[in-house]
Amino acid sequence: MKDASVLEALLTAARAAGADQADALLVHSASLSVQRRLGAIEQLERSESIDIGLRVFLGDRMAIVSGTDASVSGFAALAERAVAMARVVPADGYATLLEALPPMDAGPLDLTDDAEPDADALLATAAIAEEAAMAVHGVTNSEGASAGWSRGRRALATTRGFFGTYARSSHSLSATALAGEGTGMQRDYDYSSATYLSDLEAAAEIGRSAGERAVARLNPIRPKSTRLSVVYDPRVASSLIGHLVSAINGASIARGTSFLKDALGKRILPVGAMVWDDPLRPRGPRSRPFDGEGQPGIRRALIEDGVLTTWLLDGRSGKQLGMASTGHAGRGTGGPPSPSPTNLWLAAGSLTPAALMADIREGLYVTELIGMGVNGITGDYSRGAAGFMIRDGQLAEAVGEITIAGKLPEMFLAMTAANDLVFKRGTDVPTLRIDGMTLAGA
C-alpha cells in the first residue's frame, strides 16, 4: 500500500476506537555502513526498517503507541491500545493537534541522491581515508575509518486533513588517527557528511586532516590558570550556538528552566550578530518541507542584530506560552513532538581567523571540548578542553588537561566571529573569539 493509504487506515482505526483526533507517522529507513581498521574489515552492517507511530487525543488526554508492523490488519489493536492508554493518563490542557496546512513540495529542497554505494565502494573509500591518515609522518596507529550511506522517507497524516511526505539521503565518512607512542599518544579525527555523495569531502583529505591533527597534539603542556582570550575552532564553535538554541527552546521557556527565559526582544549577542535557522536550504542536512506536526518550514532569523527575536516552538510549548508554533516540532514515532532546530548558522564576521587572533599576546585556541558542564538554568559554563596556546597572535604549543569556564550570557555578548563560515553540517559557525574567559590548568 502507498503511505497515504496506510496512514489513512491507521487514522480510521483510531477514530473507530474512540479517539477524538489523531495523527500518524510512518518512517521507512535503509542504511549501509562499514568500518575498516589497519586494512581489516571491522564492521559491515546493513539495516532496513519500517516504523509507525500513532498519537491519539481524548479531550485533554493524549497517548502515543509505536510499532514496526505496518500491516493494516494490526491497526485496530494498535489503536485500541492507544485509546485505552489515553483514558487513564492525566489530562494535559496543552496537548493539541494543529490546524492542517498545505504541505510544501519537497522537490526544491533536493534531498534525495540517487547514488547508492555498495559495500565494496564504501570499503574502498574508507581505505583511502585510513591510508592517507597513516601516511602522515608521526602517525603510529589508527582507530579506523568508516563510511556510510542512508536513505529514509517520512509520511505524516492527521485527522485534521494534513498529509505530507518527503525523502532524504545521507552519505558520511570519518577517520581517526593516533600519533606518538605509549602514554604520550594523542588522538584526533576528521569527518564529512552530506546529502549528496558528490558533496562529500575527498577521502584522502579527511584522512590527511585526521593524521595532521593528531600529530599536532603531541607533547601537550598544561598551562597555569589565568584569564585570557579563547578562540574556538569552527569544529567546536558550533557547540556555543547549540547551547544558545537549547536555552531558547520553548519547552524550557515554558518550564522556566532557561537562563534566557526573560531575554525575548533583548540583546544577547553583539551588535550586528545574526543567527539563522533555515529548514528550506537545498541539500541541507536538517532540511524538511514540514515539521513533526505538519507545520510548514520557514527561514527565520533567531537572532537579528544581536537581539533575540523568537523562541523555538512546537504546538504544545506555543500553547503554554500563548504563542503560535514556529514550525520547529521534531518527532520520532515513539514520542511526542518537541521543539528542535533545523539548519542553523551564525553569520560570518569581517576578520580572517589570523586577524581575529593577531592582537592576542597570550590566549587559547580550542580544538576539542570534553564533558557537558553547562547549567541550562544559570548559564554557568565549564568544559574540559584541548588545543593550542596562542602567543603573539600565532598558534604555539599544544595544551591539554585544562578547563575553560565562564557565564554563557557574558560569553555570548563578548563573542566575535571570523569570516570563515562554511556550510557543511547541521550547525555551522565560523571561528569565534571570546575575551575574558577563565582557564583552569596547573
3-state secondary structure the chain: CCHHHHHHHHHHHHHHCCCCEEEEEEEEEEEEEEEEECCEEEEEEEEEEEEEEEEEEECCEEEEEEECCCCHHHHHHHHHHHHHHHHHCCCCCCCCCCCCCCCCCCHHHCCCCCCCCCHHHHHHHHHHHHHHHHCCCCEEEEEEEEEEEEEEEEEEEECCCCEEEEEEEEEEEEEEEEECCHHHCEEEEEEEEECCHHHCCCHHHHHHHHHHHHHHCCCCECCCCEEEEEEECHHHHHHHHHHHHHHCEHHHHHHCCCCCCCCCCCECCCCCCCEEECCCCCCCCCCCCECCCCCECCCEEEEECCEECCCECCHHHHHHCCCCCCCCEECCCCCCCEECCCCEEECCCCECHHHHHCCCCEEEEEEEEECCCECCCCCEEEEEEEEEEEECCEEEEEEEEEEEEEEHHHHHHCEEEECCCCCCCCEECCCEEEEEEEEECC
CA distances in angstroms from 137 to 140, 176, 182, 205, listed in the order given = 8, 15, 17, 15
Please, which residues bridge with residue 427 across strands?
A: 344
- Cα dihedral angle (122, 126, 127, 128), rounded to 10 degrees? 110
**Rounded CA gap, 206 and 173, in Å?**
8
Please say whether the dihedral angle defined by the alpha carbons of residues 279, 284, 286 and 291, taken in this order, is positive or negative: positive
> Among residues 53, 50, 55, which one has the least CA distance to residue 68?
50
> Among residues 360, 353, 357, which one has the least CA distance to residue 419?
353
First to last CA, the chain: 65
pLDDT along the chain (442 residues), means of 10: 92 97 97 96 95 96 94 94 96 91 89 95 97 97 97 97 96 97 93 96 98 96 95 97 96 96 97 97 96 94 98 96 96 94 97 97 96 92 96 96 96 97 95 97 82
Question: What's residue 297's pLDDT?
Answer: 87
> Among residues 104, 67, 75, which one has the least CA distance to residue 288?
104
Let me know: does 213 contact 143? Beta carbons within 8 Å: no
**Rounded CA gap, 75 and 7, in Å?**
10
Question: What's residue 103's pLDDT?
Answer: 84
- Which residues are CB-neighbours of 227 under 8 A, at least 6 positions away? 436, 437, 438, 439
Let me know: does 329 contact 294? Beta carbons within 8 Å: no
Question: What's residue 391's pLDDT?
Answer: 97
pTM score of the predicted model: 0.93
Parallel/antiparallel/unpaired status of strands 362-370 and 415-417 = unpaired
Longest dimension (CA), the chain: 73
**Residue that is written with C-alpha cell 589508527 in the block:** 142
